[in-house]
Amino acid sequence: MEPGSIDNLCILYQSSDFIVVNKHWDIRIDSKMWYETLTLQSQLKYRFPELADPDTYYGFRFCHQLDFSTSGALCVALNKAAAGSAYKSGATSARAG
């Protein structure tokens, strides 16, 4: 598997409410540290700048988490209603809100 990069983002599913991505194994979901420039958050902002929500801290509503070293499907809600729906389904952590 090639190393993660800003433009290497695999979209598994996309609708008006959700994006499901295949998170690379060596990329953090988000970061508050200025020196961690390659994150899933930055990949999403690069690929979908129009979908970033300035009302959220990270720009996107991550419905659950995957560890830095873990790859796999990760669901991102594109609006507050979708995040609430995902949270209520019980398939997510408290991070979705």
Task: Out of 17, 30, 55, 67, pick the active-site residue.
Answer: 67
55 is catalytic: no
Nearest to 76 by CA among 54, 92, 57, 55: 92
Nearest to 28 by CA among 59, 60, 73, 68: 68
Phi-psi region of 94 (alpha: psi -120 to 50; beta: other; left: phi over 0): alpha
Query: What amino acid positions are annotated as catalytic residues?
Result: 67
